[in-house]
């Protein structure tokens, strides 16, 4: 079936007047011989968004390679079939949504379809952070959860993130659940047009007490000490949903209110002040730094749009800088290690692309340590976990409450660290110096290659496998690991890991959520300046290797 015929079949089941008009115009243009329209139809109907361990994520628009009400309806019906097959009795599923375009529409569609399939569906009372949904799955003893969000992706994206309760304790899905759910979704798409899927308005709206329970539990992460009085800080929600929940927690925990980045504090799915609503992206925190400077803040905190990530900025002699995810992750790891020292079976965990410094902290405090594949679906499952992090600004500081990264509880933990440091006459920068004194001079960096054509990423990865690099700059590669075929038989991933002769490390992988290729760099030096210079040299060498692999 050609793309025009596929588009007409899609139109017959699309309940959304916006995407119907969009697609009708494309079909008319394609039938009139417009090459651009034909190419656009081919791009939308040349496959289907894959349902994997990150659920669904993609650009909004009509067609199976976009996020829309047809695709979400098929996903909800397929997930309902999976739950009915795996749960004794009536499954319960909780649905949450953030402030992105169509998030509430997708969430209500899902609630109606779950209820129509005979499940007990519970819709959260309003737009809320992703961590509240992850909390609600455990708090309600639900069998599953769905969060409609694209997290920190570009403004035109949305997504569908899936959690499992029971033995999974409210963590994101992993294999084989992802494959089984995907098979049910495909079966629904092949056999049942969306208008024929049963719907019901008999779903519940969750009580506000669920949100209050999350706030109480999160405020307990680090109640404000006396030294927090008068603490000056700034905050941005990055046009997301974090502030309403965080502000209530600040009141409960006793922290002073921050100076707000007013232009970014209210949810706005258009994200008008940032090109990419991701605190990691260049320029994304500029307004936050301006607000912090104008208010004489001691530091700045930023959540991403669904508030499952946290960024921290500190003043320097040259202005402001955002701490790396590894710097924050190690500070919070040291905090957790000190609290858990002597606790039998307690462990720290991070993804394999995150700083190896967490292992040094675990060893110093007699704790277990685990490295996992990227993603909190893996980190959250580490045995004995008391703390986990990923360098992409994700931190799990309260695994007994939320089994996923949580930018709000991490913000409370950082506030506690900053207040404690303040009471000793130091700062977050001073805490970093103390960390170095404990574990040595580590430096981490990242080379991030954003592409329009994801085929470029595949070509680079294939090139690296066909001709493995023997050196990065003047430093030989001592060992290469291809985790597509892990030697230990563990979970596989499209990841290449290089151990260099000087103790440095390079890891290359495609992003799981964005059209990016990422290379993660870790070095150790005799001094801070030595580590920094090694990192600069390795960065240049990695860029050269990637360029040659893709040519």
Enzyme catalytic residues = 151
φ and ψ at 427, to 5 degrees? -135, 180
**Could you give the strand order of the β-sheet that contains 368-372, starting from the edge strand earlier in sequence?**
368-372, 347-351, 385-390, 394-396
Sign of the C-alpha dihedral, residues 117, 120, 125, 131? negative
Residue 477 near residue 501 (C-beta atoms within 8 A): yes
The SS3 of residue 546 is: helix
Question: Roughly how many angstroms between the first and final C-alpha of the chain, as a whole number?
Answer: 35
CA distance 133 to 139: 10
Helices (H), 129-174: 130-139
Residue with tokens 């004194």: 437
Give the DSSP H/E element, type plus range, for residue 42: helix 35-45
Residues 6+ apart with CB under 8 A from 508: 461, 464, 495, 496, 497, 498, 517, 518, 519, 520, 546
Q: Give the distance, in angstroms, between the CA of residue 467 and the centroid of all CA atoms in the same chain.
A: 32
φ and ψ at 315, to 5 degrees? -75, 150
CA distance 209 to 91: 22
Pairing of strands 204-205, 120-123: parallel
In this structure, what is the dihedral angle of CA atoms 25, 108, 106, 247, given to the nearest 10 degrees? 130
Residue 391 near residue 326 (C-beta atoms within 8 A): yes
Q: How many CB atoms lie within 10 A of CB 199?
A: 19
Tell me how far CA of residue 159 lies from CA of 36, 49, 212, 346, 426, in angstroms: 26, 10, 26, 34, 41
The SS3 of residue 398 is: coil
Residue with tokens 């930023």: 302
The SS3 of residue 129 is: coil
The SS3 of residue 101 is: coil
């Amino acid at each position: 079936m050609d793309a025009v015929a596929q588009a007409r079949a899609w139109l017959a089941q699309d309940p959304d007047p916006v995407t119907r008009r969009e697609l009708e115009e494309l079909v008319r243009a394609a039938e009139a011989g417009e090459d651009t329209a034909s190419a656009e139809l081919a791009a939308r109907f040349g496959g289907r968004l894959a349902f994997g361990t990150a659920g669904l994520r993609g650009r909004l628009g009509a067609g199976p390679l976009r996020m829309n009400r047809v695709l979400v309806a098929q996903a909800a019906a397929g997930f309902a079939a999976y739950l009915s097959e795996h749960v004794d009795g009536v499954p319960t599923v909780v649905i949450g949504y953030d402030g992105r375009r169509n998030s509430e529409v997708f969430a209500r569609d899902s609630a109606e379809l779950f209820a129509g399939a005979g499940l007990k569906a519970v819709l959260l009372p309003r737009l809320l952070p992703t961590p509240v949904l992850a909390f609600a799955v455990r708090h309600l003893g639900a069998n599953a959860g769905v969060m409609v969000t694209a997290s920190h992706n570009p403004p035109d994206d949305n997504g569908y993130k899936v959690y499992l309760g029971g033995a999974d304790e409210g963590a994101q899905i992993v294999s084989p659940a992802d494959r089984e759910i995907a098979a049910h979704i495909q079966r629904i798409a092949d056999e049942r047009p969306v208008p024929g899927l049963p719907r019901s308005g008999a779903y519940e709206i969750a009580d506000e007490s669920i949100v209050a329970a999350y706030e109480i539990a999160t405020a307990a992460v680090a109640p404000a000490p006396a030294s927090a009085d008068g603490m000056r800080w700034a905050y941005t929600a990055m046009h997301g949903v974090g502030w309403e929940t965080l502000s209530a927690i600040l009141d409960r925990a006793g922290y002073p209110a921050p100076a707000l980045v007013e232009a970014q504090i209210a949810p706005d799915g258009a994200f008008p002040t940032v090109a990419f609503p991701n605190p990691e992206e260049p320029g994304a925190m500029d307004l936050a730094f301006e607000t912090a400077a104008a208010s004489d803040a001691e530091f700045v905190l930023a959540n991403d749009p669904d508030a499952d990530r946290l960024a921290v900025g500190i003043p320097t002699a040259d202005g402001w800088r955002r701490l790396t995810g590894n710097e924050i992750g190690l500070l919070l790891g040291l905090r957790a290690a000190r609290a858990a020292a002597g606790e039998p079976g307690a462990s720290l965990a991070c993804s394999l692309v995150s700083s190896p410094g967490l292992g040094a902290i675990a060893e110093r405090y007699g704790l277990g340590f685990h490295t996992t594949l990227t993603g909190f679906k893996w980190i959250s499952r580490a045995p004995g976990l008391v703390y986990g992090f990923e360098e992409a600004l994700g931190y799990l500081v309260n695994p007994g409450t939320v089994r996923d990264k949580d930018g709000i509880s991490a913000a409370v933990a950082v506030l506690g660290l900053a207040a404690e440091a303040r009471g000793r006459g130091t700062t977050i920068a001073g805490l970093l110096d103390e960390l170095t004194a404990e574990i040595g001079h580590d430096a981490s960096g990242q080379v991030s290659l954003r592409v329009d054509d994801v085929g470029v990423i595949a070509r680079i990865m294939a090139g690296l496998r066909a001709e493995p690099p023997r050196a990065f700059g003047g430093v030989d590669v001592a060992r290469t690991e291809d985790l597509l075929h892990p030697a230990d038989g563990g979970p596989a991933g499209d990841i290449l890991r290089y151990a260099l002769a000087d103790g440095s490390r390079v890891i290359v992988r495609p992003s799981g959520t964005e059209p990016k290729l990422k290379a993660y760099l870790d070095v150790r030096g005799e001094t801070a300046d030595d580590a920094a210079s090694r990192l600069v040299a390795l960065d240049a060498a990695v860029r050269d290797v990637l360029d040659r692999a893709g040519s």
